[in-house]
């Protein structure tokens, strides 16, 4: 497995400590932590040794530090800690070379997931229904998690599991008969309007609701006419969704929906029917899990024989395992569905599927306050349109003020708009709820996508002015604290990407990029104050080359990280 610069140094430090202590390096490695910046790069706390050695931790730390000698590390005791600092040489060139050699793949590791498959269920909107905020989050999060796993060498099977089966089609169908314009059956927006009206009416008019149910029953019974209409609605929706995904640069390995399991659910129901806890109740089939006392039972079949969301998820989980033999099967779905997934996974276990433990609900919180000028019903396309519009206004303003050059302002606005929404979402820890604020997300300053896109374009520009990045350079010239701080942020990307994969947490990557941009910005500020500290310093070619190499590594880090987040990286901004 290819190792990052950081992990190589950490391993070397752990080995040194282990041999000084006469223990295995593997036992020590987890105890080596990042040091506080003022005290070095790595830190080992000696408290746990005090009892056995019958000495005070600071004494142990001092003795250990004196004994230790590890190439590339400067080791010092600070109180009860043994700290290590990376020597600027060769550390600096190792980091810069790792980033620059990897280029667009920096942060990834093609060997880490080799031979393993991850299934990622994400986006998964419902056909002919309005897209909710949760579809926006799952789309961004899922896309990013898929990118991260791919960068780590996993085979990724991204599945857009469309909600394309269920009573809602009955609603659209009976609604279409009343309110639909047959000439607009190809218009996704129209179908959504019809659905919203029909849904409202069904709430107050039981006979209308019954008609919708009846339509769905006909679908499940294989009625050709009902299925034909359903298929038209489905095609219209898929066409509409595909336009949005193209805009976002998302390609699914599979677009398939709940309807795939039509006719295949009897087999699942048969498998489970004999298990304890499964019983008939008022004509319906339910699973009452014995250990889930305060939870409602799972409904597998209604008394009218129609199947449910959970039944289809059980069939889909099995199907995915059969097709892909996955190592992990992720469901990037709102926290609101936690009970559903807990029950589905437990039922799979009850059915004797050993791989049930490989299924993970990657849950996320809500977005509050997201609405567009078009209204409260959030359509992803409208959100992207409005973001683009707002970005276009800023592009124009900056162009007029001479702060921005571009030959394609429309494309740039689209890229900035997408970056704004994507980053505005991904910077939040996925489990937390957040409040959406238009002015904040499209701002070119602060913790935003446009700010990072700008940071990237700016460093591209610095490199351009300097005549490009040099092939060779002398890293020992990069001695400014601002330079060393930037090197350390660049260094972190591979670790952060790995952590983000393990925790299904894109926000870790988002935050690192903010740190890289902040370190770059401090570096520029310094250069603005003192001419000899500029990247493109005059009259010292060797120094300029070294600085350009550092700028290039920063560019690579920003570009690679933004790409993982699904954010475009325009070179002019």
Residue range at the interface with ligand ARG (CB under 6 A); choices 9-17, 124-132, 216-224, 445-453: 124-132
| Residue number with CB closer to ligand ARG (127 or 487) | 127
Residue range at the interface with ligand ARG (CB under 6 A); choices 87-95, 120-128, 420-428, 500-508: 120-128
Minimum CB separation of residue 340 from ligand ARG in Å reads: 7
When binding is defined by CB under 6 A, the residue of 313, 414, 483, 495 that contacts ligand ARG is 313
Residue range at the interface with ligand ARG (CB under 6 A); choices 107-115, 121-129, 466-474, 516-524: 121-129
Interacting residues of 61 by C-beta distance below 8 A, sequence separation 6+:
46, 77, 78, 79, 80, 81, 82
Minimum CB separation of residue 208 from ligand ARG in Å reads: 23
When binding is defined by CB under 6 A, the residue of 83, 124, 236, 563 that contacts ligand ARG is 124
Q: How far, in Å, are 233, 415, 562 from residue 568 at the CA level?
A: 32, 6, 7
| Residue number with CB closer to ligand ARG (83 or 168) | 168
Minimum CB separation of residue 332 from ligand ARG in Å reads: 8
Minimum CB separation of residue 236 from ligand ARG in Å reads: 17
DSSP state of 156: E
Minimum CB separation of residue 121 from ligand ARG in Å reads: 5
> Is residue 363 classed as helix, strand or coil in its secondary structure?
strand
Per-residue contact string for residues 129-168; x = within reach of ligand ARG by CB under 6 A: --------------------------------x-x-----
When binding is defined by CB under 6 A, the residue of 94, 109, 121, 157 that contacts ligand ARG is 121
Per-residue contact string for residues 261-300; x = within reach of ligand ARG by CB under 6 A: ----------------------------------------
When binding is defined by CB under 6 A, the residue of 43, 83, 92, 126 that contacts ligand ARG is 126
Q: What length does the chain have?
A: 573
Determine contact, residues 509/557, Cβ cutoff 8 Å. no
Minimum CB separation of residue 49 from ligand ARG in Å reads: 49
**Partners of 254 in the β-ladder:** 159
**C-alpha 153, offset from chain centre:** 16
When binding is defined by CB under 6 A, the residue of 165, 252, 261, 331 that contacts ligand ARG is 331
Q: How far, in Å, are 180, 379, 490 from residue 125 at the CA level?
A: 22, 11, 37
Spatial CA neighbour of 234 closest among 197, 177, 186: 186
Residue 333 in contact with ligand ARG, rule: CB under 6 A: yes
Helices and strands (H and E) in the chain: how many: 20, 14
Minimum CB separation of residue 470 from ligand ARG in Å reads: 49
Q: How far, in Å, are 85, 137, 200, 556 from residue 432 at the CA level?
A: 35, 12, 31, 30
Q: Which residue has the CB atom at the shortest distance from ligand ARG? A: 163
As a whole number of Å, the end-to-end CA separation of the chain is 38
| Residue number with CB closer to ligand ARG (163 or 419) | 163
| Residue number with CB closer to ligand ARG (161 or 215) | 161
In angstroms, the CA 214 to CA 207 distance is 10
| Residue number with CB closer to ligand ARG (41 or 313) | 313
Residue 318 in contact with ligand ARG, rule: CB under 6 A: no
Minimum CB separation of residue 125 from ligand ARG in Å reads: 6
| Residue number with CB closer to ligand ARG (124 or 563) | 124
In angstroms, the CA 140 to CA 219 distance is 33
Q: Which two tokens stand for residue 572?
A: 């002019």
Burial 18-55 (b: 16+ CB within 10 A, else e): bebbeeebeebbeebeebeeeebbbbbebeebeeeeee
Spatial CA neighbour of 116 closest among 148, 147, 144, 156: 156
Minimum CB separation of residue 180 from ligand ARG in Å reads: 23
| Residue number with CB closer to ligand ARG (233 or 524) | 233
Give the count of beta carbons closer than 10 Å to the beta carbon of residue 376.
8
Minimum CB separation of residue 319 from ligand ARG in Å reads: 11
| Residue number with CB closer to ligand ARG (316 or 416) | 316
Binding residues for ligand ARG, total number by CB under 6 A: 10
Using the Cα atoms of residue 194, residue 199, residue 200 and residue 206 in order, give the sign of their dihedral.
Answer: positive
Residue 259 in contact with ligand ARG, rule: CB under 6 A: no
In angstroms, the CA 510 to CA 508 distance is 5
Spatial CA neighbour of 272 closest among 220, 311, 329, 231: 311
Residue range at the interface with ligand ARG (CB under 6 A); choices 119-127, 190-198, 219-227, 230-238: 119-127
The residue ranges that bind ligand ARG (CB under 6 A) are: 121, 124-126, 161, 163, 313, 316, 331, 333
């Amino acid at each position: 497995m290819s190792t990052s610069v950081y992990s190589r140094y950490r391993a070397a430090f752990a080995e040194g400590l282990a041999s000084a202590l006469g223990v295995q390096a593997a036992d020590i490695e987890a105890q080596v932590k990042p040091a506080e910046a003022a005290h070095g790069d790595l830190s080992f706390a000696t408290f746990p040794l005090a009892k056995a050695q019958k000495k005070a931790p600071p004494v142990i730390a001092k003795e250990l530090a004196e004994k230790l000698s590890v190439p590339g590390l400067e080791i010092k005791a600070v109180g009860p800690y043994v700290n290590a600092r990376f020597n600027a040489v060769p550390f600096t060139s190792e980091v810069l070379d790792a980033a620059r050699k990897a280029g667009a793949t920096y942060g990834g590791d093609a060997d880490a997931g080799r031979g393993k498959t991850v299934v990622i269920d994400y986006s998964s909107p419902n056909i002919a229904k309005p897209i909710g905020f949760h579809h926006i989050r799952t789309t961004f999060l899922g896309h990013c998690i898929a990118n991260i796993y791919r960068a780590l060498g996993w085979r990724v099977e991204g599945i857009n599991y469309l909600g394309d089966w269920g009573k809602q089609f009955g609603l659209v169908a009976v609604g279409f008969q009343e309110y639909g314009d047959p000439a607009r059956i190809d218009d996704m927006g129209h179908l959504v309007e019809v659905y919203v009206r029909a849904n409202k009416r069904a709430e107050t008019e039981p006979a209308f609701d019954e008609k919708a149910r009846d339509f769905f029953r006909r679908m499940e019974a294989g009625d050709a006419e009902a299925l034909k209409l359903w298929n038209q609605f489905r095609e219209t929706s898929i066409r509409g969704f595909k336009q949005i995904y193209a805009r976002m640069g998302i390609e699914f390995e599979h677009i398939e929906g709940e309807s795939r399991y039509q006719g295949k659910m009897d087999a699942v129901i048969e498998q489970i029917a004999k298990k304890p806890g499964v019983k008939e109740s008022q004509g319906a089939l339910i699973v009452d899990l014995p250990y889930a006392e305060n939870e409602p039972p799972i409904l597998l079949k209604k008394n009218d024989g129609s199947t449910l969301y959970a039944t289809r998820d059980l069939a889909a989980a099995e199907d995915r395992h059969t097709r892909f033999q996955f190592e992990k099967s992720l469901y990037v779905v709102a926290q609101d569905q936690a009970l559903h997934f807990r029950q589905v996974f437990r039922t799979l276990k009850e059915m004797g599927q050993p791989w049930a433990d490989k299924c993970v609900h990657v849950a996320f919180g809500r977005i509050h306050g997201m609405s567009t000028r078009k209204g409260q019903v959030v359509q992803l396309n409208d959100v992207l349109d409005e973001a683009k519009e707002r970005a276009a206004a800023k592009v124009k303003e900056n162009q007029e003020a001479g702060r921005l050059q571009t030959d394609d302002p429309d494309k740039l606005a689209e890229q900035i708009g997408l970056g704004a929404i994507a980053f505005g979402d991904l910077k939040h820890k996925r489990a937390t709820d957040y409040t959406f604020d238009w002015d904040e997300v499209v701002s070119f300053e602060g913790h935003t996508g446009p700010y990072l896109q700008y940071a990237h374009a700016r460093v591209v520009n610095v490199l351009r002015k300097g005549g490009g990045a040099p092939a060779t350079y002398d890293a020992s010239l990069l001695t400014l604290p601002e330079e060393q701080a930037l090197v350390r942020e660049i260094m972190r990307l591979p670790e952060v990407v790995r952590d983000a994969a393990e925790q299904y947490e894109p926000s870790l990557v988002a935050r690192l990029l903010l740190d890289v941009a902040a370190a770059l910005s401090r570096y520029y500020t310094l250069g603005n104050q003192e001419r000899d500290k500029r990247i493109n310093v005059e009259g010292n070619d060797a120094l300029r080359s070294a600085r350009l190499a550092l700028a290039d590594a920063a560019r690579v880090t920003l570009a690679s990280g933004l790409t993982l987040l699904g954010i475009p990286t325009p070179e002019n901004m």
